[in-house]
Amino acid sequence: MAREDSMVNCDLAAARDMSVVNVGLLGFGVVGSSVAELLDENRENIERRAGSRVKIKRILVRDLERYRLKYPERRDLFTCDPEDIIGDPEITVIIELMGGLEPASNYITRALRKGKRVVTANKEVMSVDGERVFRAAEEGNTEVYFEGSVGGGIPIIKPLKQSLAANRITEIKGILNGTSNYILSNMSLEGLEFDECLRKAQSLGYAEADPTADISGLDSARKLAILASIGFGARFTPRDVFCEGIDGVAKEDIIYGKEFGWTLKLIGLARLDGDAVELRVHPTFLPDTAPLASISGVTNAVSVKGHAVGEVMFSGPGAGGMATASAVISDLIEVVRDQLAGINNLGCTCYRSLKVKPSEDICTEYYIRLEVHDKPGVMAQVAGVMGTNNISLRWVLQKRNIGENAEIVFVTHRAREGNLRTALSEIKKLPSLVRIGNVIRVENG
């Protein structure tokens, strides 16, 4: 059945001889309509697994008349008043798919305090307001599920909370944004500049008209904060994540990286170091042999290291209506089962107090591309600044001439971020420097 028609039969369950769980749907965009479609087309299997019929009783939309005109026989299904859903005692499960921080966070917490069970795919709410959401769930003696908030259709929240619960998680690393991964993949495959690949991604629907959250790394930072909070058992927000985007990447960087046997990805990395956690999102060169290096296009992937299991990886479509709907319906099935059994599943798992490692104390290798005046002794000047700041150079290569200037690539051994920043501030003062083309971190381990 077509997505837009699936609403017409969404209450057929009421006519069957089994208990019915009434659901309120907040938002009917790409994901919301996909949830309705998936529930309709796979209803028998979903309801058998849930142990109950499921009826979408009311849907919150912005353009009320649009949907009432489209479904005149179901005009009462749609509303623009959230209280028609949150305040309805017959609706016991709410699925929030509006996106954005507000008013979604307000609706979620209000519903939880009323004792309703909530399913959401809202990464902004869960990363920024997660503590408030879980507190509201405790107050209402209920639960919230959010598998769809990270990785689209990739199961990762539940594995971290349950399947890997016996492990001490030491590292979470992943490609968490399909838009950025598509752009970098195409820059590598086709030798195009960033702006060209961004326009292509937008034309194919892989990037929004305003792609800022994706290309700035903010979207990945939100997801990493959620994963780190669960994996390490401590509360983190996007503000804790050091974040750099991909908009400064040039095709030369990718070409030069290939010469070193590297692939460029926007990586989110959470790593436990004693009682501190390093949290960072930035373009990263990975060895071509690394599992994440082979993840291309809009695919997402998350690698998790645990002391008992070793390293495991989850990959698949990280966005899209049906992929995210798959995660949402999975949560819905579990919520309904819990409701019927009268139990609540795991709530907030943040019980530890961990520090965020200052970004200047993070150690990694660095790729540095400079444009300098093509004169004798310039390389030695730059290398001297690096040396006085305790930065050891692994490779120094002159790549090409740009008029009377030369392009030089430096690759360091592992160095402290703070030392590198000091060195770069000193290099900027060298009269031989034209510009710093780019600085990209390298994860060779």
110-157 pLDDT per residue, tens = 999 999 999 999 999 999 999 999 999 999 999 999 999 998 889 999
Q: How far apart are CA 243 and CA 247, in angstroms?
A: 12
374-417 pLDDT per residue, tens = 999 999 999 999 999 999 999 999 988 888 999 999 999 999 99
State the pLDDT confidence band at 444, using cuts at 50, 70 and 90. confident
Kindly report the number of other CB atoms within 10 A of residue 66's CB atom.
Answer: 12
**Residue 443 CB contacts under 8 Å (≥ 6 apart), including other chains:** 267, 269, 284, 285, 286, 290, 364, 365
Q: How far apart are CA 314 and CA 173, in angstroms?
A: 11
Q: Is the pLDDT of residue 14 over 50?
A: no
Q: Which helix (H) or strand (E) holds 103?
A: none
Q: Domain limits of the chain?
A: 3-152+322-341, 157-317, 359-442
**Residue 194 CB contacts under 8 Å (≥ 6 apart), including other chains:** 183, 187, 246, 247, 249, 250, 251
Q: Is the pLDDT of residue 16 over 70?
A: no
Strand partners, 397: 409
Q: How far apart are CA 277 and CA 354, in angstroms?
A: 7
Whether 344 and 161 have beta carbons less than 8 Å apart is answered as no
Q: How far apart are CA 235 and CA 83, in angstroms?
A: 31
CATH topology assigned to domain 157-317:
Dihydrodipicolinate Reductase; domain 2 (3.30.360)
User: Which amino acid type is present at position 84?
Assistant: D
Q: Tokens 């949290």, residue? A: 279
Q: How far apart are CA 60 and CA 342, in angstroms?
A: 27
Kindly report the number of other CB atoms within 10 A of residue 89's CB atom.
Answer: 9
Second-level CATH architecture of 3-152+322-341:
3-Layer(aba) Sandwich (3.40)
**Residue 283 CB contacts under 8 Å (≥ 6 apart), including other chains:** 184, 244, 245, 246, 248, 249, 264, 265, 266, 267, 440, 441
Q: Which of 11-25, 279-293, 388-402 has the lowest mean pLDDT?
A: 11-25
Q: How far apart are CA 111 and CA 92, in angstroms?
A: 9
SS3 371: strand
Q: How far apart are CA 198 and CA 194, in angstroms?
A: 6
State the pLDDT confidence band at 344, using cuts at 50, 70 and 90. confident
Active site residues per annotation:
223
pLDDT of residue 11: 46
Kindly report the number of other CB atoms within 10 A of residue 237's CB atom.
Answer: 19
∠411-428-416 over CA atoms, to 5°?
45
The dihedral sign for the CA sequence 332, 333, 337, 340: positive
Whether 260 and 418 have beta carbons less than 8 Å apart is answered as no
State the pLDDT confidence band at 65, using cuts at 50, 70 and 90. confident
Average pLDDT over residues 4-25: 62
Q: What does the block give as tokens for 323?
A: 């992929």
Q: How far apart are CA 96 and CA 108, in angstroms?
A: 7
Q: How far apart are CA 305 and CA 267, in angstroms?
A: 15
Q: Is the pLDDT of residue 7 over 80?
A: no
Whether 174 and 299 have beta carbons less than 8 Å apart is answered as no
CATH topology assigned to domain 359-442:
Alpha-Beta Plaits (3.30.70)
Q: How far apart are CA 59 and CA 281, in angstroms?
A: 36
Whether 360 and 417 have beta carbons less than 8 Å apart is answered as yes
φ/ψ bin of 115: left (φ > 0), alpha (ψ from -120 to 50), beta (otherwise): left
Q: How far apart are CA 311 and CA 26, in angstroms?
A: 37
pLDDT of residue 8: 41
Q: Which helix (H) or strand (E) holds 110?
A: helix 104-113
Q: How far apart are CA 226 and CA 146, in angstroms?
A: 10
pLDDT of residue 206: 87
Q: Which of 213, 230, 231, 211 is nearest to 222 (CA)?
A: 213
Q: How far apart are CA 12 and CA 87, in angstroms?
A: 23
Q: Is the pLDDT of residue 96 over 80?
A: yes
pLDDT of residue 12: 43
Kindly report the number of other CB atoms within 10 A of residue 63's CB atom.
Answer: 11
169-221 pLDDT per residue, tens = 999 999 999 999 999 999 999 999 999 999 999 998 888 889 999 999 999 99
**Residue 105 CB contacts under 8 Å (≥ 6 apart), including other chains:** 122, 125, 128, 129, 132, 133
State the pLDDT confidence band at 346, using cuts at 50, 70 and 90. low
